[in-house]
């Protein structure tokens, strides 16, 4: 064999023999495969029905709810405020947030106000609202509804048809005090 040929074959022979020599005496012939990736199922989306609106727009205006004649008959010194922006956390403010109306009467002498809020609930929402009010309020003695004084503010809550009416004022300490105003509003709501 020529020396040139031997030089060419020597590296090939070394490569072939290197494959036969174990590199790690503790190694096995079967290579260790990495563990299969864990298969975590994708979470199944929860299908929930999107609830429809719980309220409907109240189409009455304040002068419809509290007619000038009815207000005058109640007290000639009381009038409907032409514009009223209730605190958002008040019952009247919550009525506005629920497509309802908010109105306020003012006593021209004392400056005391009486705030009204009206919301029109859907049938299912109305039943739930009635249950919630009945569970947390005191039944009124002078009308079919509820009356509570909280932090010096008297609040009447009444249901009439699909309407939920609130009447609030620091001027009233009992359901009897506020009953004429409740009757005035309920007569309009039907």
Query: Could you tell me which CATH class the domain 55-189 is placed in?
Result: alpha beta
Q: Measured on CA atoms in the order 121, 122, 125, 128, is the torsion positive or negative? A: positive
Q: Which of 34-43, 59-68, 139-148 has the lowest mean pLDDT?
A: 34-43
Confidence of residue 16 (pLDDT cuts 50, 70, 90): very low
Taking Cα atoms as reference points, which of 131, 130, 190 lies closest to residue 161?
A: 190
Q: Phi and psi of 133, rounded to 5°?
A: -65, -45
Q: According to the model, what pLDDT value does residue 101 have?
A: 98
- pLDDT above 50 (res 49): no
Separation between Cα atoms, residue 101 and residue 94, nearest integer Å:
9
Question: Cβ contacts of residue 143 below 8 Å, gap of 6+?
Answer: 156, 158, 175, 179, 182, 183, 186
When pLDDT is averaged across residues 143-166 and rounded to a whole number, the result is 96
Maximum distance among all Cα pairs of the chain, rounded to whole angstroms:
133
- What is the reported pLDDT for 9? 47
């Amino acid at each position: 064999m020529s020396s040139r040929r031997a030089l060419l074959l020597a590296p090939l022979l070394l490569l072939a023999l290197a494959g036969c020599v174990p590199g790690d005496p503790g190694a096995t012939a079967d290579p260790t495969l990495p563990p299969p990736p864990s298969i975590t199922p994708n979470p199944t989306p929860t299908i929930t029905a999107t609830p429809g609106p719980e309220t409907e727009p109240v189409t009455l205006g304040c002068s419809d709810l509290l007619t000038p004649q009815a207000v005058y008959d109640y007290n000639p010194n009381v009038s409907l405020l032409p514009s009223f922006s209730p605190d958002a956390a008040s019952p009247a403010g919550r009525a506005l947030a629920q497509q309802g109306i908010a109105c306020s009467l003012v006593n021209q002498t004392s400056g005391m106000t009486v705030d009204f809020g009206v919301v029109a609930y859907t049938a299912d929402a109305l039943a739930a609202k009635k249950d919630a009010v009945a569970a947390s309020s005191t039944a009124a003695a002078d009308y079919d509804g509820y009356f509570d004084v909280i932090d010096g503010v008297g609040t009447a809550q009444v249901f009439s048809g699909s309407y939920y009416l609130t009447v609030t004022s620091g001027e009233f300490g009992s359901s009897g005090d506020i009953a004429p105003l409740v009757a005035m509003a309920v007569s309009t709501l039907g």
